[in-house]
Structure 1
Amino acid sequence: MIQGSIVALVTPMDETGAVDKESLRRLIEFHIAEGTDAVVAVGTTGESATLDEAEHCDVIKSVIDYARGRIPVIAGTGANSTTEAIALTRKARELGADACLIVTPYYNKPTQEGLYLHHKAINDAVDIPQILYNVPGRTACDMLPETVGRLSRLKNIVGVKEATGDLSRVAKIRELSGDEFALYTGDDATSREFCLLGGNGSITVTGNVAPRLVHEMIAAALAGDREKALKIDQKLAALHKTLFIQSNPIPVKWAVAEMGLMKKGIRLPLTWLTPDCHDAVRDAMRQAEVI
């Protein structure tokens, strides 16, 4: 089981929006040095919605190549078409990903039975560990704990990224899915408590900017050290908030560029962080002692 601080990696781009491979390599080295436990390539934070299929697969390949087995790589392979999700998941397996993160189909608004059958089809088609991804604020589709419980009994489905921020779901999903099923939060603001309640880690946006602190905070929470986790998380609290001051990944890409780790590139329809937000994000970065 992959545990700990799992960074939902930004996809570096230049000012024209082209993927910047050199910065991507630099980010992988940065996260390995800072103690990040695993990375997600081309998830929501990696701008999966605006990369075409060839680019999507190329970024996954590059992250795997740059990591060289030193850190687990989870590939974002979800889609609102079941056949497309199967194709992306199959390609990620061929490229050597350690697992796949598969978001619930967005915009379609499937029923709970549709969600079950969608993920079952991917499970049946591709032999690779698969992590469900529930983020109704983005997808307009909420995978209920009961559906997660059903899916947890399938061979290749090994965990869920639960990004609702609803901490009451931790115990419920654990009860329905068992101790061997991985529970990850996708909500940085509640990640400390999520892990203290029995979660296995955080798939984090904040970890792009303060990877060592997030790693240490999550490790303390997983160890049950509430006091230490709280002390560290207090330094991160402003980042948890301001990295969502505009739509993710707008603020986090600005922050990573501010740290000198990548260029100022993002793809339409997303735009660069507006100047009126710069001071708030910069102040949060200072509180986390990353600048």
Structure 2
Amino acid sequence: MNTNENKLFPVLLTPFDLKAKVDYDVLGRLIDFYLAAGAKGFFANCFSSEMYSLSEDERLELAKYIVHRVKGRVPVLATGSFGLTIFDKAEFTRKIYAIGVDAVILITSHYANADESDNVLLQNFEKMLRLTDNIPMGLYECPVPYKRILKADVFKKLLATDRIFYHKDATVDPDVMKAKLEIAKEFPSLQIFESYTPNALQSLNCGAKGISSISGIFFPELVAWLCNNATNHDKTSKVHWLQEELTPVDELIHDAYPMSAKYFLRRRGLPIRLISRAYAKELTAKQKQLLDEVYNKFINWCATLHIEPVNVEEVLLPPGRLDPAF
């Protein structure tokens, strides 16, 4: 990955058909849409992908399809730390890396229970890295099964293994994030991505290499613009204005997620169904009204910044799952 630019790395939703099976035709169109919006990479098989509701075979096929569709244009990352034991997690990691992803992401809370010490965490990570040869890895402080935020000293010890090249940070406390970014300066091959939209601009200005947030699913053009212009002194006022606009809507778009994202993308013209394995309820009339208001804000933000929203009709290429190469 080019380390000299800030990047939007969308987390990929998993679309489902009427039988709640993965809809690869729609997934291909989502990928095309985000590439057109400025995505510089993808994080697949993540929490937003409803990874805990997918079978092992579905996780592998999902990653295989995404790698095929992207065709090397941008990096693809995928979670690999699934299984009851460290040996199971290592085996799955080897399987998903063999598909062609650029790095395998390890969920921090998969390596120690909530009541276990950081020493247990480090011991399990050491065993995991030893069992996975030289596969490049990344870290993600996923909120499920619980959010395990890495302390600065633990973070540094993991980076010192020379196996960690990506970190998706879920720290809400900006001071803790700054401490990690300071440590990252000692490891030039590492790239840290901010997942918490209210801290996006501050993190980019302190050295984060991009954004991998839920907001990037809803309005990728704006998040890509923020990445591209965060340190552009000629656009400082507009950059700060956009951050101030995005911050209060972040809580709204998290409500009923990922169904909220699927509803919003349908408003944008993408053929994704309102079907989720993770969120079984239908959206209420009030939730839809609030998302419609956010959609109107999105249109106004684009107009203010002179950003042309992606024309969905122009990027919706024919379905690609039946391509013989796949």
User: With structure 1 as the length reference, what TM-score do the two structures score?
Assistant: 0.90
Aligned mates of 2:198, 2:154 — CA distance in 1 = 25
Instruction: Kindly indicate whether residue 70 of structure 2 is the aligned counterpart of residue 63 of structure 1.
Output: no
Residue identity in the other structure for 2:264: A
Alignment CA distance shift 1:38-1:222 (3 Å): farther
Aligned mates of 1:223, 1:137 — CA distance in 2 = 36
1:114-125 equivalences in 2 (<5 Å)? 114-125=120-131
The match for 1:111 is 117
How far the C-alpha of 1:123 sits from its partner, in A, is: 2.4
Range with greater deviation from structure 2 (123-132 or 227-236): 227-236
User: With structure 2 as the length reference, what TM-score do the two structures score?
Assistant: 0.81
Range with greater deviation from structure 2 (191-200 or 139-148): 139-148
- Larger-gyration structure (1/2): 2
How far the C-alpha of 1:154 sits from its partner, in A, is: 0.9
Q: 1:50 aligns with which of 38, 45, 53?
A: 53
The match for 2:192 is 183
Residue identity in the other structure for 1:18: K
Alignment CA distance shift 1:48-1:112 (3 Å): same
Q: 1:266 aligns with which of 276, 283, 301?
A: 276
Secondary structure of 1:199's counterpart equals coil
Range with greater deviation from structure 2 (152-161 or 26-35): 152-161
Structure 2: where are the runs of 5+ without partners?
300-308, 311-326
Range with greater deviation from structure 2 (37-46 or 235-244): 235-244
Instruction: Kindly indicate whether residue 239 of structure 2 is the aligned counterpart of residue 229 of structure 1.
Output: yes
How far the C-alpha of 1:105 sits from its partner, in A, is: 2.7
Instruction: Kindly indicate whether residue 322 of structure 2 is the aligned counterpart of residue 288 of structure 1.
Output: no
Cα RMSD for the two superposed structures = 2.3
Aligned mates of 2:288, 2:71 — CA distance in 1 = 35
The match for 2:25 is 22
1:96-245 equivalences in 2 (<5 Å)? 96-106=100-110, 108-109=113-114, 110-126=116-132, 127-136=134-143, 139-177=146-184, 178-180=186-188, 181-221=190-230, 226-245=236-255
Aligned residues: 290
Percentage of pairs with the same residue: 21
Structure 1: where are the runs of 5+ without partners?
none
How far the C-alpha of 1:118 sits from its partner, in A, is: 2.5
How far the C-alpha of 1:117 sits from its partner, in A, is: 2.3
How far the C-alpha of 1:173 sits from its partner, in A, is: 1.4
Residue identity in the other structure for 1:193: Q
